[in-house]
Structure formats: C-alpha cells, structure tokens
A and B are shown apart, each in its own frame.
Chain A
Amino acid sequence: MNLSTPAASVPAPRFDAWPLALLAAIALLALPLVGDAANWATLTLAGLAMGLIVFVIASGLTLVFGLMDVLNFGHGVFIALGAFMATTVLGAMGVAGGWAGRESLAANLGAVAAAASAGMLIAGAAGLVFERVLVRPVYGMHLKQILVTTGGMIVGEELIKLAWGPQMVALPLPPALSDVLLLPGEVTLEKFRLLAMLVGLLVFAALLLVLNRTKLGLLIRAGVLDREMVEALGYPVRRLFVGVFAVGAALAGLGGVMWGLYQQTVTPQIGAQVNTLIFIVIIIGGLGSTLGCFVGALAVGLLANYAGFLAPKAALFSHIALMAAVLLWRPQGLYPVGAK
C-alpha cells in the first residue's frame, strides 16, 4: 500500500495552544493563594508528577474509546492489578539485601523496573481476557457496555481480594527513591516523583511518536476519526483495537504501580478510586484525544495538589468543578476529536 500523499498539499492544522494556557493559569492563580514561592514550587512539582501518573493510566482508556467507541468502566481493574503486583514483586525483593532493600539507586531502580514490567505484563494479559470475554460481545451497544464493564470491574475487584486479601497493603518506596532532592530556593522534590515525571514524559513521547510517525499510528488515528472508512480500505480495525486495548491495559498497570508507590499503600478499592479521576481527565481532554488527556491530567494533578494544600475538604470537588468549567468553555473537551 502506497500512502504517498504529497505532504505539502495537506494544510497542517494550526496548533491550539489555549488549553496549555489553562495550565499556566491554574499554576499562576495558585501562586498568590499559596503565598510562599518555595511551597508553591514544591506543590507544582508534586502536581505535575501526579498528573503524569494519571496521564499514563488514562491514555489507554481514551484511545480505546476513540478507536472503537468503547467506554470501559473496568479500567480500574488493570490499575489495581498493577499496584498489587508491585506489592508482591517489591515485597519479595525488599528482604534484607534484595534490590529494593539496599541503599543503592541502581538496585532500587532495577527493583521498580521489575515491578513495573510484572505489573504491565499481568495487566496487559488481563486486558486481553477482559476484551475477549466482556467487551467483544457488546460492541456498539453503549448501555450494555457500561453495564457489563461495570460488572467486570466488580468481579475483578473481588478476584483481587481473593488473591491478595481485602486489607490495605503497605507499599513502601525503596530507600534510595524516597530521598528528597533539595533544589535551589528550598524547593523539595522526592526522587520518586522525579522518576514518575520521567516515566510519564517518556510514555507521552512514545505515544506521540507511534501515533504520529508510524504506519500503525496512522491507522489508529484514522480509525479514531472514521473507523468504517479504514475498515473499508481493508485494514483489520478490530485486531488493531485488541492491540490498543491490551497496550492501554498494560499502561494502566504501569500507572497502577506508580500510583501505588505514590500513595505508598494499596487497597483493592484503588481501581474504583482512580477510575473516577481518570474519567474526569478524559472528559476534560476530549474523549479520544491523547494530547487532551495529557493536558487534562496535568490540570487535574496541579489542582488536586493546590486544593489539597489550601482547602482539603474542597479538594474532593476541585476536579469536578474544573471539569464543569472546562465543559462550559469547550463542551466537547479541550481537544475535540473528529465528528462522532
């Protein structure tokens, strides 16, 4: 297949920078409210770290929706699976002298990498099963999709309780990652949060690269815009979708590992808790948009940290208020996708 459209003849879409201004506005608005600049910088960095973790979790969900119009209410299962896998792997490595127990950065990073790989693997495998058993029979039926995936979420949560027990499990950070970096101006940043930011940015860059620079990405983007046309051209969109679903689940597993380490505790309800957060993120971003999901996640992360510092009770509703404001401004989300 030759796809040599003369690139020059297609006008490049103008980049829409307003949503980025939203991020700057949130951060700048918080500065006088927080008052202290060092505090503000610490909160901002923490917010960006949280936002990037949320982005890793939500990116798969938004792509799955964009590609096949499937809204998966069971995405939280993959998050919980990743987080619990991390407790098992890091727990096994945390015994004296293990990779996660020593004061060595390289060994600790290795332990976290092992936990992340295990989490991604199991979440990805669970994603394949989930897609085959629950999602495939109800393609194209929104109401049933919501019901069945909700049922899948409940069953998944119960199975996790069976495997790891219903109680809260501690997930301490390896010693070298729980250190605090002292940046100039008394700004503090936990090393793990720096790692989370790097991973988040890496995932974002990799997703953009695959989506914008490869044939596979071209097909996914085309499928998001107009699935029937891509199918008519002879591409197996369904198989593509299964792949995207599994990768999305694996990313949620990775995000779950990081979220568990961020909170340092894991409960079986972690999936349901994060689920509500990522729903807000993908609505803010515009269902199906990767960039929108990125900006939405950062906005939610920043706001959660500022609000948690300024008014802890109001923080519960801060992201809902943000979503309401965004929907009043742009009813289809920050970066609307296609004409669905």
Chain B
Amino acid sequence: MLKALLSHDLPRSRPLAALLVLTVLALAAAPFLFPGARSLDVAAKILVFAVLVGSYDLLLGYTGIVSFAHAMFFGIGAYGVAIACSRAGDPGWPAVFGGLGAALALSALLALLIGLLSLRVRALFFAMITMAVAAAFATLVSQLSTLTGGEDGLSFSVPLAIRPSTDYLDDPVLGADIDGRFVAYYLLFAAAVVLVLLLLRIVNSPFGRVLQAIRENDFRAEAIGYRTVVYRTVSNVIAALFATVAGAMMALWLRYNSPDTSMSMEIMLNLLLIVVIGGMGTIWGALLGSALFMLAQNYLQDLMKLAGAAFGDVPVLGAVLAPDRWLLWMGLLFVLAVYRFPAGIVGQLRAGAARRARRTGASP
C-alpha cells in the first residue's frame, strides 16, 4: 500500500529513509512542535518549495533541460491568486480557484509555446530562450502596476476559513492555536503531499522513463521512436503547471505577492541550488533539499548578520560577510556543488547504501 503510494520509488538507503521520515513527521506536526509564527512560516515555505523544486527537477534532473523560466510560472500562479483575491475584496474560494485556473491556463499556453519554439530545433536553445522570456515577463509584470501593483506588490485577504483572525477554538490544543493559520498550514500540507506523490507517480511512469532516456541520449531515444520534442514539451508543460500551483500556495500563505517574493532571479537561483544539493533526478532530493535550504536561509542569514556586525570594521571580511552578500556565498556553493557533489545528498546516501550492500553481499 505504502509502496504503491510512493510509486515504488523508495529511498533505497537507510539514513535517507530516516531523514525523510523525520522531515515529513516534523512538517506534519509543525504547528504543534514549532508554534512560533516564524518557524511555521519556514515550514510552510518548505512545503511550497518541495512542490516547486520537485517540478523543476522533472525538467532539470529527469529530462535534462535547463529552464530559467520556472520562477516565472511560480509567479504566474502567485499573481493569479493575488490578483483574483485583491479584486474580489472579500474573496471566497471561487475567487481563489478562478485565479488559479486562469494562471494554469496562461502557464500551460506559455510553456507550450516556449517548448515548441525552442525544443523543436535544439534543446540548447531552451535555456537561452526561457531566460529571455522570463526577463521580459518580469519587466512586464513590474510595469503593469495597475494590475500587479508593480514593485510594491499586492496585499490581499484570503477566504474566511484560512484568515489568521478566524478562531475555531478558544483554547490552544497541545500548544497550537486552532485558527485560520492552522487550517491554512494543513491545507498547504495536504496539497504538497498530494502533489509530491503525483510527481513521484509521473517520474516513475513509462512517460518518466522516456524522459530519462532522452536525458541520457536524446539521439538514441529519437532513433527508438520516441518523439523527443513532444516528450520534452509535455514535460515542460507539466512542470510549469506544478510550479503554478506552488505559486498559488505561496500566495495563499503569505497573503501578499510581489516580484521579489515570486518572480525574482534569486528564486530561480535558489531552485537551481536546491535541486543540485538535494540530488538531480530524485524527487526525494527536492523534499530534503528544500527543508535543508529553507532552514539554512532562515537561520544562517541571522548568523551572517552577527558575523557581518562582528567583523564590520575589518575592510574585506566585513563586506564579504554582510547579509547583503548572501547570494555570493550561494553562488560559490552552487558552483562547488555542481563540480564536487553532482549527485547531491540523495545520490551520495544511495551510493553509500549500495556500497555497503555490495560489501555484505546482500542483494540491494
């Protein structure tokens, strides 16, 4: 039953399985274990990013194509919900799902067009064209300020059921307030579980197998009779749709959306980094990588602030350690990870498990 739910894609390493169980349990019980507003925020972002990074991995890790437009689709989802809710004034679920539906339609159309245009000729064009389209789209979004709020973004209220001011019980249960925020978190949790399981289903289906064949050798895959253009384009559209839903989840949680929170180049870099660190070509890596990265981003940046303040007077060190230079360290980490650590955490743990299995002579 559990195996079927996970699409027979098991962790295949005991430490990895333990880490994953720990992550999922911690996320499932987060409102009780970590009731603070900030830690719940981190947990919610981990859920959103698990879906977002998982869908990006479908492209980068499974299909072997680099897209720089994934943050754009994430942003489309977030803006779909944000615009629909801010227009509605007192939004209900129809507004949320209407906005999400429109966003999904736009994402599917854009992903299809980009895919057909660039993948028809050369998969290499894809990276360049997605970058150009994403840049133009981001500029457009910040210019259409009547619709999108421009650089300031949009603040909006969400349906009553998940509004922070909605109280369901007067007294906290096991240390957690049962309010709209609580419901919103579990809504996100349920959505993330369903979407990640769905992604596992997709990558372990015959379709996912073809994607991996294309990644390994597209010429051969084409020779066997698979239309690589069609498969790559479909993969691009699926990934875009998942990213759009993740964007909607993010907007519902934050009740605010701006280019910085959903469409910036920084999010694109975070995506790349998490996929590489978690392990390209494994959905589990996306989950684990998101959890690690979000924890690091939220708590290490504090550490950097301290270090930056402590060394503030030392000329070079102070400037390098300032929290504004967070991206510098992320960039360096990214380059090193691609060189030294291309299989990521999941790959390393699985390789370790396979080594041990060989040594003991047991079947893996």
Q: Are A155 and B342 closer than 8 Å at their CB atoms?
A: no
Q: What 0/1 pattern do residues 131 to 153 of B give for CB contact below 8 A with A?
A: 11101100110011000000000
Kindly report which residue of chain B lies nearest to residue A332, judged by CB atoms: B121
A143-B64, A162-B319, A327-B121 known; A313 and B143 CB under 8 Å? Answer: yes
Does A283 make an interface contact (CB < 8 A)? Answer: yes
- Give CA–CA (A275, B324) in the complex, Å: 23
Question: Does B29 make an interface contact (CB < 8 A)?
Answer: no
Is B269 an interface residue, CB under 8 A from the partner? yes
- B335 pairs with A158, CB closer than 8 A: no
- Which residues of chain B are near A23, meaning CB under 8 Å? none
Q: Are B129 and A323 in contact (CB under 8 A)?
A: yes
Is there contact, CB below 8 Å, between A147 and B328? no
The residues of B that contact A166 with a CB separation of less than 8 Å are 324
Name B121's closest neighbour in chain A (CB-CB).
Answer: A331
Cβ–Cβ < 8 Å partners of A158 in chain B: 325, 327-328, 331
User: Chain A nearest CB: distance from B133 CB in Å?
Assistant: 6
Alpha-carbon distance A159/B319, docked complex (angstroms): 10
Closest to B127 in A: A146
The 0/1 profile, CB within 8 Å of A marked 1, for residues 318-351 of chain B is: 0110001101101110110011001000000000
A273 at the interface (CB under 8 A from B): yes
- Are B339 and A142 in contact, CB atoms less than 8 angstroms apart? no
A264 interfacial contact with B, CB 8 Å:
no
A154–B330 Cα distance when bound, in Å, is 9
Contact, CB under 8 Å: B328 / A162: yes
Chain A 121-152 near chain B by CB (<8 Å), digits 1 or 0: 00000000000001001100011101110111
Q: Is A316 an interface residue (CB 8 A)?
A: yes
Q: How far is the CB of B39 from chain A (nearest CB, A)?
A: 29
Across the interface, which residues of B come within 8 angstroms of A157, CB to CB? 327
Chain A residue at minimal CB-CB distance from B125:
A283
How close is A112's CB to chain B, nearest CB, in angstroms? 29
Known A-B contacts A162-B320, A283-B129; the reply to A134 vs B335 at CB < 8 A is: yes
Considering the chains assembled together, what is the distance between the CA atoms of A273 and B325 in angstroms? 20
The answer to whether B272 touches A147, judged by C-beta atoms less than 8 angstroms apart, is yes
Tally A residues with Cβ within 8 Å of B: 41
- If over half of B's interface residues share one DSSP class (helix, strand or loop), that class is named, otherwise mixed; here it is helix
In the complex, are the beta carbons of B328 and A155 less than 8 A apart?
Answer: yes
Nearest-neighbor residue (CB-CB) of A137 within chain B: B339
From A71, A272, A317, contact of B136 by CB (8 A): A317
B296 within 8 A of A: no
Pair A280/B117 contact, Cβ less than 8 Å: no
Across the interface, do A143 and B136 meet the contact criterion of CB distance under 8 Å? no
Contact of A148 (CB < 8 Å), options: B133, B144, B330, B335:
B335
List of B residues within 8 angstroms of A146 by Cβ: 66, 127
Chain A, range 162-214, C-beta contacts under 8 Å to B:
162, 166
Residue among A137, A148, A155 with max Cβ neighbours from chain B (10 Å):
A155
A78 interface residue per 8 A CB criterion: no
Residues of B within 8 A of A331 (CB): 120-121
- Bound Cα distance from A157 to B327, whole angstroms: 9
Q: Is A320 located at the chain interface by the 8 A CB criterion?
A: yes
Residue B306 at the chain A interface, CB threshold 8 Å:
no
Roughly how many angstroms separate A137 CA and B338 CA in the complex, as a whole number? 11
Which B residues are CB-close (under 8 A) to A317? 136, 140
Q: Which residue of A lies closest to B68 (CB)?
A: A150
The answer on a CB contact under 8 Å between B342 and A144 is yes
Rounded to whole angstroms, the CA-CA distance of A327 and B330 in the bound complex is 36
CB contact under 8 A between A327 and B117, given known A162-B320, A313-B143, A316-B140: yes
A interface majority secondary structure = helix
Structural contact, B133 and A320, CB atoms closer than 8 A: yes
Give chain B interface residues in 232-281, CB to chain A under 8 Å: 265, 269, 272, 276
B330: chain A residues within 8 A (beta carbon): 154
- From A134, A143, A159, A319, B66 is in contact (CB under 8 Å) with A143
Tell me whether A275 and B66 are in contact (CB under 8 A): no
* Distance in angstroms between the alpha carbons of A280 and B334 in the assembled complex: 26
Considering the chains assembled together, what is the distance between the CA atoms of A166 and B326 in angstroms?
13
Specify which of A134, A150, A154, A272 is in contact with B327 (CB 8 Å cutoff). Answer: A154
A143, A287, A320: most-surrounded residue (chain B CB, <10 A): A143
Indicate if the CB atoms of B331 and A147 lie closer than 8 Å.
no
Q: Please tell me if the beta carbons of A155 and B331 are within 8 angstroms of each other in the complex.
A: yes
Cβ distance B262 to chain A, nearest Cβ, rounded Å = 18
Question: For residue B125, which residues in chain A have a CB less than 8 angstroms away from its CB?
Answer: 283
In the complex, A151 Cα to B125 Cα: how many Å?
19
A276 touches B276 (CB 8 A): no
Q: Which of A144, A155, A272, A273 contacts B338 (CB 8 A)?
A: A144
Q: Is the CB of A151 within 8 A of B338?
A: yes
B124 x A316 contact (CB < 8 A): no
How long is the Cα–Cα vector from A245 to B276 in the complex, in angstroms?
Answer: 27
- Is B230 an interface residue, CB under 8 A from the partner? no
Measured between beta carbons, the chain B residues less than 8 angstroms from A89 are none
- Taking CB atoms, residues of chain B closer than 8 Å to A159 are 328
The answer to the question of B128 belonging to the interface, with a C-beta cut-off of 8 Å to chain A, is yes
Is there contact, CB below 8 Å, between B132 and A73? no
Q: Which residues of A contact B335 (CB under 8 A)?
A: 134, 148, 151-152, 155
B342 contact set on A, CB distance < 8 A: 144
Q: A279 in the interface, Cβ–Cβ < 8 Å?
A: yes
B72 smallest CB distance to A (angstroms): 13
Q: Please give, as numbers and ranges, the residues of chain A lying within 8 Å of B324 by CB-CB distance.
A: 161, 166
- What residue of chain A has the Cβ atom nearest to residue B265's Cβ? A272
Q: Can you list 23 A-B contacts with CB-CB less than 8 angstroms, sorted by A residue number?
A: A137-B339, A138-B338, A143-B60, A144-B342, A147-B334, A148-B338, A150-B272, A151-B335, A154-B269, A154-B328, A154-B330, A155-B332, A158-B328, A162-B320, A162-B325, A272-B265, A276-B136, A283-B125, A319-B132, A320-B133, A327-B121, A331-B120, A331-B121
A137-B339, A287-B124 known; 17 new pairs, CB 8 Å cut-off, are A73-B127, A138-B339, A147-B66, A158-B331, A159-B328, A161-B324, A162-B319, A162-B328, A272-B265, A277-B132, A283-B129, A316-B139, A317-B136, A317-B140, A323-B132, A327-B118, A331-B120
Shortest 10 CB-CB distances between A and B: which pairs?
A: A158-B328, A154-B331, A279-B128, A151-B335, A155-B331, A276-B132, A151-B334, A276-B135, A316-B136, A331-B121
* B contact set with A: CB distance below 8 Å: 60, 64, 66, 117-118, 120-121, 124-125, 127-129, 131-133, 135-136, 139-140, 143-144, 265, 269, 272, 276, 319-320, 324-325, 327-328, 330-332, 334-335, 338-339, 342
